[in-house]
Structure 1
């Protein structure tokens, strides 16, 4: 236990799960303050159990702490019970390892994984007693730096950050910290450090850029305010995954967290090209880790953590070229050690089912398909690359192998969606149930029937996807689509075997506003935060009425950001970023979607997306 704790025993006894706040977990790093130059606090702006499950934090935490001159610690959003006590008792937000106030650090790095955590960012800054607005911070405040997928449109939260790191964190943190140390030696202040940082690759410093608007609210211009500041910022990318840093001693929590296992990242990127998927575009090109290195990493991390499960991490694990070899090795070694293997992101084919039948318990857990759309026409629109025949063949193989529970994931509200497409969700669910009854003899059926769990989320257009120009449905339209789906399922012959779940519509609409918003939304975020909103990603703490009140008070219309189709010549808030895929490629894919035309995956035929500029081993030279 730490000699000094920011929270007294009395407070720890009053809150839920005090282990969230005491630190000292297995593999947590503690250093001597007399032997370091820079203190870095890494933050995940959500509850501890979710933040501790994030691989990116573990990688950066391990990498920064591998440097002798840096001590990286961690902080997460306090849960609502502790938040109330900290405000009442005037307790500043503290880092887990040292229990020191976050405001005393040199850097506060915040990973931004989803839009609905934006108010939690304000909670973290507020509890840390750091001014919410970057322009109000002095030389005694930490440099607040943001990273993660939401930084590919940082504008709605730009007023709250000093720097955004665009891209993968392994490449530029060392130069940034060296620059910070140099500026401190030269006794130059915060402003000059940020000015110099803005010239490093991948660094976006919002204070050196300005936006002007047309009368209709669209962007007229976005440009740097000083000479030497880059007009375009290109993402940072790890080109050699095998030699890049990977944490051999990830921190192991005392309490159960969302992903309570060793995570083995086998590759980054995806060849599939689904038009709604932001990750598939942002993390191009595909980069694999060497299989021999992965074998070594797996054994070392299991030894260093004591975890009893290992999971493969990838956007599409089935596309990893050495997957059979890696799985054979893991099955042999994990069986000796009684370690479970988790294999997400696998296509449901004969090989995958054979593997899963060997690594899962005798009582097989559910299989997951993500058709995303109910009809083949709409799957072609979104470029899903999955046919009904493949889905039904995979289902039949699974049922023959003893699985009796299937999860199906769909999206409602895709561009061009019709009532027939929606009814297709129910019809496909029914066909999969029928496949079970056609495949499994009556005497072999457990409990008599199969369970199909059909879930629908709502489509949210995201930056740097072909659908970034698409309109989003209104809340009322989403609800109507969900009701139609439920009604169609109730009309199916096998409806008793199908359970239907759907997501909250108002949250999805707000997510769409924040995903494609501009800097004017910062005033909305400040308004709702001062009205008590945070943990908006948690349905019990989401208050849509307060958000709508905020838009009205700030003179902004959420429909402007979400429900209109954007013309191709409109300046988008994120156009100053280069994520690796070209605008012309996205425009071509948007037109193909409207024409219901599919694009082959990267290994079948290069589409000239632009990733060749980033050293893609699959791509040819870019077309544009």
Structure 2
């Protein structure tokens, strides 16, 4: 047990879930701090239970700790009760493993998964005693680095970070660590070190770029301040996932977290090309892991953790070409040990249902479809590649297999949406109910009946998607559409079997502002944090009024970032980055969406998105098929 806890027993007993702060979990890594050259504090800027469920941190935590000269520890956002204690008692934020102050580390790394966590980044810096802005830091402070999907438009938080790592973390950190050691040995200044970092592929150092604006508020230019700093930063990508580090001894928490299971990543990328989906573009091309490698690491991970569930992780598991072989192996290995297999991200077809009936306890589970839109016209606009017949046929096969609970996910506020598309949500939910009553005769229902939950989220246009040019709905438009959806469902014959949920419009609007924002938002975020905005991803703490008040005080119009449709040739804040997919391709897809023309998937034909330049994965498969 770690005797040097940063918190007294008295403090630990006064807060909710003290296990969030004491470390020492199964598989956590302890090292002798005198024997390492680099100490890295890895932060998920949200509460422990959310952060501990994140695969990316587990991968990099394991990889960094496999280096003899590096000790990587974890840090999460202290929950509100703990935050108050730390401020009132002047307790500096500490890392879980050593319980040492975060300020004493060489690096503080953030994984940026969700825009609504931005004020929590400032909470971490504040409680650590690290200056908010890179301009005010010295070698006495850690190097603050960010990675993850939100770094594909890091401009709203650019002032707070020394470096953004663009792309997959497995490839360039060793180079960064070696450069850091050399800089410290040679007595190089912090500024000169960052200048050298900017030349490592995938490293974006925002302080080395100068942004100029036009009178209308859009960007005129983004230029490097030195001639040897790259004009464009290209994403880093693993070319062979089966050869990269993967953690088979992930840290196992004491308390229940969001994902209490072994997570087996089977591939990265997606062939589907849904136009609203950022991950589908960022992780192109689709790259599969070798099935024998997956068999080996799945057994190792189960043995090293004692978990009773294994979940296959990917954007679309049905598209993994060796899924039947992998599942047969897992079913055989897991059944004897009573280990459950979970399969998110399946397309609902005969094969998937067959698989699910083998691996799931039918009585427990509900079936999940994500039609995303209520009509075929709208599904073609967003390139969903799912027909009404697919949904109804999938439902019918599921009902025959014993399922009677269906979850449906839709988006409201998609580009070009009409009232017919909105009313289509109730219509398709009703058709599924009708199909249940047609398929399952009364005597086979065992007193059960169909139970459908339709959920709508509000559409937020994201960078590096064809919809990055689209206008976003206002809060009032969103709520009006949610109301129409509710009425549409209530008008259905089988309405008593359909439950409707919708997301909050305020939070969606804020997410939309940050997703496509520019550097002018840095001051807004800082000021909102200083007014008490924190844990904005949690509805009980999100204060929309405070945010709107802050925009007004900073003289910034939030609607400039949301409801304005962009010109084809506008320079976006993220155009300094290249995710492997060209802007020309995304613009072509935007035009196709306006026409309602669907595009094919990567296995059926190459769309020329640009990702083939990496020469791996599905792009290489295509060449073999020709």
TM-score, with normalisation over the residues of structure 1? Answer: 0.99
Q: For residues 374 and 188 of structure 1, do their structure 2 counterparts lie closer, same or farther at Cα, with a shift above 3 Å needed?
A: same
Alignment of 1:412-427 (within 5 A): 412-427=412-427
| Partner in structure 1 of residue 186 of structure 2 | 186
| Structure 2 equivalent of residue 498 of structure 1 | 498
**Runs of 5+ unmatched residues, structure 1:** none
1:469 matched residue in structure 2: 469
Q: How does 1:77-476 map to 2 (within 5 A)?
A: 77-476=77-476
Q: CA deviation at 1:247?
A: 0.5
Q: CA deviation at 1:189?
A: 1.9
Give the structure 1 partner of residue 36 of structure 2: 36
- Alpha-carbon deviation of 1:358? 2.0
Q: Does 1:524 align with 2:550?
A: no
| 3-state SS of paired residue (1:519) | coil
Q: Summarize the Cα distance change of 1:446–1:477 in structure 2 as closer, same or farther, 3 Å threshold.
A: farther
> 1:5 Cα shift?
0.5
The 3 A distance-change label for structure 1 pair 448 and 259 is closer
Cα distance change of structure 1 residues 448 and 34 upon mapping to structure 2, 3 Å threshold: closer
1:153-184 deviation digits (Å, cap 9, x = unpaired): 00000000000000000000000000000111
Deviation at 1:88, TM superposition (A): 0.3
Q: Which residue of 2 aligns with 1:47?
A: 47
Contact preservation (8 Å) 2:287, 2:618: no
Of 134-143 and 362-371, deviating more is 362-371
Cα contact 1:414–1:459 (8 A) shared by 2:
yes
Three-state SS of the structure 2 residue aligned to 1:420 is: helix
1-side partners of 2:444 and 2:134: how far apart?
Answer: 64
* Aligned-partner SS, 1:75: strand
Quote the residue 1:15 is aligned against: 15
What TM-score do you get using the length of structure 2 for normalisation?
Answer: 0.99
Cα distance in 2 for residues equivalent to 1:137 and 1:272: 44
User: Is the Cα–Cα contact under 8 Å of residues 442 and 448 in structure 1 kept in the other structure?
Assistant: no
Q: What SS class does the counterpart of residue 385 from structure 2 fall into? A: coil
Q: Is the 8 A contact 2:362 2:403 kept in 1?
A: no
Task: Give the superposition deviation at 1:34.
Answer: 1.8
What is the Cα deviation at residue 619 of structure 1?
A: 2.7
Q: d(CA) in 1 for partners of 2:31 and 2:523?
A: 39
Kept after mapping to 2: 8 A contact 1:119/1:536: yes
What is residue 592 of structure 1 aligned with on the other side? 592
Instruction: Tell me the number of residue pairs that the alignment of Structure 1 and Structure 2 aligns.
Output: 622
| Residues 364 and 403 in structure 1, CA contact (< 8 A), matched pair in contact too | no
What CA distance in whole angstroms lies between the structure 1 residues aligned with 2:12 and 2:104?
A: 23
3-state DSSP of counterpart to 1:619: helix
Alignment of 1:569-588 (within 5 A): 569-588=569-588
**Offset at residue 364 of structure 1 (A):** 3.6
Q: Given that residues 362 and 402 in structure 2 are in contact (C-alpha distance below 8 angstroms), is that contact kept between their aligned partners in structure 1? A: no
CA RMSD of aligned residues (A): 1.0
**Counterparts of 1:225 and 1:187, CA distance in 2:** 23
Measured against aligned partners, the alpha-carbon deviations of 1:12-64 in whole angstroms (never above 9, x if no partner) come to: 00111000000000000000112110000100000000000000000000000
Distance 1:172 1:613 in 2: 19
Q: Could you say if the C-alpha distance between residues 362 and 610 of structure 1 is closer, same or farther in structure 2, counting changes exceeding 3 Å?
A: closer
Query: Could you give the per-residue CA deviations for residues 200-240 of structure 1, whole angstroms, max 9, x where no partner exists?
Result: 00000011111111111111111111120111000000010
**Gap runs ≥5 in structure 2:** none
